[in-house]
Amino acid sequence: MTRPRIGILFGGRSEEHPVSLKSAQEVARHLDTDAYEAFYIGITENGAWKLCDEPEPGWEKRGRPVVLSPDPNVHGLLVLDEGRYEPVPLDVVFPVLHGRFGEDGAVQGLLELSGVPYVGCDVPSSALCMDKALTYTVARSAGITTPIHWVVQHNEKADAEKFRYPVFVKPARSGSSFGVSKVTRREDLPEAIEAARRYDGKVLVEEAVAGCEVGCAILGERFGLVAGEVDRVALSHGFFRIHQEDSPETGSENSTFIVPADISEESRRLVQETAKTIYRALGCRGLARVDLFLKEDGQVLLNEVNTLPGLTSYSRYPRMMAAAGLPLSDVIDRLVSLTLHGKRR
């Protein structure tokens, strides 16, 4: 029996390039090669696509030049071989990409043009969830509480007097914690906005929420939605800055993840149901990690939605799913199987 041919797309041009490599390595370790034939497609930081044997160090030099054909009749890759492009058909693509050009609908649009089915959110939901301000707007229309916030466009100057401090300043469309600052004094606001603008011209300023950070992994299934165990971010000081450490595998200097979260059963159910509501309202498909704030009075507020969350050995999504009884190998198999059968939710 012929194994389905799956393209694992990793790397990319965003600041999260190194994290994507680690996610792809973890996917490679957990992919059932008896069930699937894997093709690893790495995108260099300069945007060149390379077909390689595995997502390990040196893939940029060893890989062969490749492009994704926009012609749906090719239904896959065109590999440059001795001056000629040879077609390599694919049955499905798993974009293990994070941040800009991977999680914002850009590569999803390219895959739509190619006619190759892909794992995860479609173009509209990817673009919507990437923009935190738009995410908040849609979530509020679904009855979800969000932090008090303001949008500062690229040509605007923020009036520091109108905010109630402390506030968090962040790029509206960027991944992880790149460009995020906590501002406690009015005079520090301009510098924080400029730091955020290094990653996006559209900046979000939001009032700090008094509460803990929790998250919930969601997996779309044929019969509905599966919620992973809720986790809690335990902070010793400062604020949570995911993927900013030099060696994240060894842990963060100021945060640890408690899975399952040490919260009440009532709060746990509320977080899971709220995450499912947000997932549906934003039109998500496949996998997503919904990050929320849990206040002392039990109220839940949306923080953000990650449509292609990290899948590294230390990432939150696989940990939450594993705690719910779904190891990463099962998650991958379910995502790919659903996509192949055209039943992504």
Active site residue 233: no
Active site residue 232: no
Two structure tokens written together for 286: 């496949």
Active site residue 249: yes
Catalytic residue (one of 82, 161, 187, 249):
249
Active site residue 98: yes
Measured CA to CA in angstroms, residue 69 lies from 66, 120, 247, 279, 327 at distances of: 9, 20, 37, 31, 33
Active site residue 203: no
Catalytic residue (one of 36, 136, 314, 317):
314
Catalytic residue (one of 5, 202, 289, 344):
289
Active site residue 182: no
Active site residue 140: no
Catalytic residue (one of 7, 63, 220, 310):
310
Active site residue 164: no
Catalytic residue (one of 12, 15, 19, 138):
19
Catalytic residue (one of 22, 132, 232, 268):
22
| Single-letter amino acid code for the residue at 268 | R
Strands laid side by side in the 92-95 sheet: 84-89, 76-81, 64-68, 49-52, 37-43, 5-11, 92-95
DSSP lists the bridge partners of residue 212 as: 294
Two structure tokens written together for 292: 């929320």
Dihedral sign for Cα 264, 265, 270, 271, please.
positive
User: Would you please indicate which residues are annotated as catalytic (active-site) residues?
Assistant: 19, 22, 98, 243, 249, 289, 310, 314
